[in-house]
Amino acid sequence: MSTKVLSIFGTRPEAIKMAPLIKQMEADAGIDSVVCVTGQHQQMLDQVLELFAIEPDHNLAVMTANQTLNGLASRLIASLDEVLASVQPDRVLVHGDTTTASAAALAAFHRRIPIGHVEAGLRTRDLAQPWPEEMNRRVVDVMSDLMFAPTPSSKERLAEETLQGRVVVTGNTVIDAPNLTPARIDSDPALRASLDARLPFIDGTRPMLLVTGHRRESFGTGFANICAALGDLAELGTVQIVYPVHLNPNVRGPVQASLGARRNVHLIDPLDYLGFVRLMQRASLILTDSGGVQEEAPALGKPVLVMRDVTERPEAVAAGTVRLVGTQREAIVRAVSALVDDPRERERFAHRVNPYGDGEASRRIVAALTGRPFDEFASELAG
């Protein structure tokens, strides 16, 4: 008898991190894998599904332009309830900390369906940062009977809370798909050339700063500061800035207004995952508020400055390849300039490290789901 596992996800980062696990489940005779995408993201989700050749069994298409969190959450719960009723899964899997994850967990909990949480135990311990994600991941863990903690330290953070589920340390699935992403690009010069040809304006002889930024807690003043800092850096002229701008209108509006006409700044649409991984490879330095990029860039040996005051991913900070710079204009300009002006400091900062996984996370999760034995992931930073 196979276990019917319903995976529910809806945003770009969830899709990137669930894709290797879904492939592993599809290949396992012990699991009957069913995929429901909520469509919390529309275009950005489709890009990932296409790349990983995932054809969802259910697509709820809940996204509306400039959606509110409550509007989104209520549409999610209503439509997910119908899917749960028709699929009747033995277990639901959700990922991370999005509104899709918390709404799907609640919908499953109301139907007494066991919940597995992939990427459990990330915490800043501050409900305001990242907002609302810190709340989403905490409530999912409260409802889960199986928590897949990516690292030993995320397991320790779960141990601080009163939770009823079992915790296993698996590594992060984002490190699982090397053949699909960095290694595929490295081994295929024609692919590399075609990805580079999509961004012909990048000057390969000058340092390049890759920027991503979209966090809700930075809307308003935070984004004004970030844009002002990027304007200052563009004016200095020592670095070319490439910024794939998130489709959220609360991000696109201010970024376009402030930086759209700046020389040295290239604002582009979000890239598909292969294109973005290639851009990370080409970058001298990455400035971001993204969670996923904090995990991927150290594995590529790239230095990362994080535009946040706290992070739920302390491992790469401890390893010395990620630094927190906050969202103050002067602090961002100072930190970026110091690294752009001093290639040796950049080299010191940019060693390759992989504290988040060893490529086996999906295999461990499937073993846990099917009751097979496995060794937990031991981070290279442990001890």
Q: Residues interacting with ligand UD1, by CB under 6 A?
A: 11-13, 40-44, 63, 65-67, 69, 72, 97-99, 132-133, 214, 247-249
Residue 117 and residue 134: Cα distance in Å, rounded?
Answer: 14
- Min dist CB 328 to ligand UDP, Å, is 20
- Annotated catalytic residue 232: no
Q: Is 133 a catalytic residue?
A: yes
Among residues 58, 117, 214, 364, the one annotated as catalytic is: 214
- Residue 244 interaction partner, one of ligand UDP, ligand UD1, none, beta carbon < 5-8 Å per kind: ligand UDP
Catalytic residue among 216, 262, 266, 282: 216
- The one catalytic residue in 91, 95, 246, 308 is 246
Supply 327's token pair. 């969202």
360 catalytic? Reply is no
Q: Which partner in ligand UD1, ligand UDP, none is near 16 (CB below 5 to 8 A by kind)?
A: ligand UDP
Residues comprising the chain, all counted: 383
Within 10 Å of residue 351's Cβ, how many Cβ atoms?
12
CA proximity to 5, closest of 357, 362, 377: 362
What does the block give as tokens for 180? 């699909």
138-171 in b/e form (b: 16+ CB < 10 A) is: bebbebbebbbbbbbbbbebbeeeebebebbbbb
Active site residue 351: no
Dist. CA 327–CA 10, nearest whole Å: 28
Comparing CB distances to ligand UDP, the nearer of 75 and 214 is 214
Nearest residue (CB) to ligand UD1, 12 versus 364 = 12
Contacts with ligand UDP by CB under 6 A lie at 12-13, 16, 212, 214, 244, 270-271, 273, 276, 290-293, 296
Q: In this structure, which amino acid lies at residue 243?
A: Y
- Active-site position among 28, 97, 289, 312: 97
Query: In 132-217, where do the E strands start and end?
Result: 146-149, 166-169, 208-212
Which of ligand UD1, ligand UDP, none interacts with 224 (beta carbon under 5 to 8 A by kind)?
Answer: none
The residues assigned a catalytic role are 97, 119, 133, 214, 216, 246
